[in-house]
């Protein structure tokens, strides 16, 4: 019986005796032109995706080169850090630091330690002797920061220098002076504030504060030893929470300084109020002395100081 081969059955071989079809097999499955276009598009998209991914990885490795230009800065540079705030000088009225660091008088800050003397630490001028006559300008507006060991007015007039070993205590954490008045034979008032530190954190701070107070009051009581011809009258009791005295100190030019001196110490702070006038040839100050009782002056110094600076009371 004849087989399908004998009759040239259709299939991969032709009908002429089983010989192979001379056309290439690829012709039977040729890819349409439009399909080829789609394939190329897919290949391009794949290539672009790989390229974009590689670029992103490069940016991650060198972000400064690929990132934003930081508002005009050169690529790869970083903005300089903003300067830290430094403490302005005590008292905004003088236009003067703060040291640093420190918070200046006139800002009303309450930190005190290392920040300058806060504005509210200064006494109200109504508590200053002679304010009834002179109506002194606010102390905080006239305050100036001090650097290094502070020189109290009483020690200055009595020519009593600070001992080298005591300078650390008189430097403290912050200090400032504020002067108001007219000078000459009219009364000038000056408050000097020294903040040694918060004694609640260190017993040594309280000891240092007491040392400063002792050196200051001893210099006032012994003024005649360092300023020949000086007289001293202490008005406060030994156990009073303030020191008050009246001094007369001859000057090299023949004049005389009459000084009313007040000192209070509380917590880690020492405050001195000096009110003085300078006269010639034994004359008296131009305006007669008017003052509240010493204890009221002392309270007027202590209350704001302890409200503003830590460690009082």
Residues 117 and 90: beta-carbon distance below 8 Å: yes
**pLDDT lower than 70: segments of the chain:** 1-115
Instruction: Indicate whether 291 belongs to any domain.
Output: yes
Within 8 A by CB and 6+ apart from 141, the residues are 91, 92, 93, 94, 106
Strand, coil or helix: what is 161? coil
Instruction: Indicate whether 33 belongs to any domain.
Output: no
- In this prediction, residue 37 carries a pLDDT of 44
Instruction: Indicate whether 215 belongs to any domain.
Output: yes
Instruction: Indicate whether 87 belongs to any domain.
Output: no
Instruction: Indicate whether 97 belongs to any domain.
Output: no
Cα 75 from Cα 113, distance rounded (Å): 43
Q: Which residues constitute the domain of residue 288?
A: 119-308
Nearest to 191 by CA among 251, 269, 133: 269
State the pTM of this model: 0.65
Cα 153 from Cα 259, distance rounded (Å): 9
Instruction: Indicate whether 229 belongs to any domain.
Output: yes
**CATH number of the domain bearing residue 166:** 3.40.1000
Instruction: Indicate whether 69 belongs to any domain.
Output: no
- In this prediction, residue 175 carries a pLDDT of 97
| Residue 290 CB neighbours (<10 A) | 12
Within 8 A by CB and 6+ apart from 208, the residues are 168, 169, 196, 197
Residues 143 and 176: beta-carbon distance below 8 Å: yes
Instruction: Indicate whether 134 belongs to any domain.
Output: yes
Quote the strand ranges of the chain, DSSP E: 143-145, 174-181, 188-195, 231-234, 243-250, 256-266, 269-279
Residues 194 and 270: beta-carbon distance below 8 Å: yes
Helix ranges (H only) for the chain are 33-61, 63-66, 131-134, 153-157, 167-171, 203-221, 223-226, 294-308
- In this prediction, residue 11 carries a pLDDT of 39
Q: How many domains does the chain have?
A: 1
- In this prediction, residue 224 carries a pLDDT of 97
Span 278-295, pLDDT tens digits: 999 889 999 999 999 999
- In this prediction, residue 312 carries a pLDDT of 86
């Amino acid at each position: 019986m004849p087989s399908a081969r004998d009759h040239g059955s259709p299939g991969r071989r032709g009908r002429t005796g089983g010989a192979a079809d001379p056309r290439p097999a690829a012709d039977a499955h040729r890819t349409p032109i439009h399909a080829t276009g789609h394939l190329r598009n897919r290949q391009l998209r794949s290539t672009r995706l790989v390229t974009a991914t590689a670029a992103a990885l490069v940016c991650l490795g060198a972000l400064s080169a690929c990132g934003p230009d930081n508002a005009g800065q050169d690529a790869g540079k970083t903005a300089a850090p903003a300067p830290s705030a430094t403490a302005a000088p005590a008292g905004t009225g003088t236009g003067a630091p703060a040291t640093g660091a420190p918070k200046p008088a006139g800002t009303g800050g309450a930190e005190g330690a290392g920040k300058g003397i806060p504005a509210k630490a200064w006494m109200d001028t109504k508590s200053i002797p002679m304010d009834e006559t002179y109506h002194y300008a606010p102390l905080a507006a006239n305050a100036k920061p001090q650097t290094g060991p502070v020189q109290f007015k009483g020690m200055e007039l009595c020519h009593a220098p600070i001992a080298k070993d005591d300078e650390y205590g008189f430097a403290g954490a912050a200090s400032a002076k504020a002067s108001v008045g007219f000078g000459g034979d009219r009364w000038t008032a000056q408050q000097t504030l020294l903040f040694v530190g918060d004694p609640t954190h260190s017993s040594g701070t309280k000891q240092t504060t007491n040392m400063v107070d002792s050196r200051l009051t001893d210099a006032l009581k012994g003024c005649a030893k360092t300023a020949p011809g000086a007289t001293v009258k202490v008005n406060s009791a030994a156990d009073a929470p303030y020191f008050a005295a009246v001094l007369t100190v001859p000057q090299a030019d023949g004049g005389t300084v009459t000084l009313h001196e007040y000192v209070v110490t509380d917590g880690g702070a020492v405050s001195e109020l000096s009110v003085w006038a300078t006269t010639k040839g034994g004359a008296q100050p131009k305006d007669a002395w008017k003052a509240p009782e010493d204890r009221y002056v002392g309270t007027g110094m202590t209350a704001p100081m302890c409200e503003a600076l830590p460690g009082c009371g």
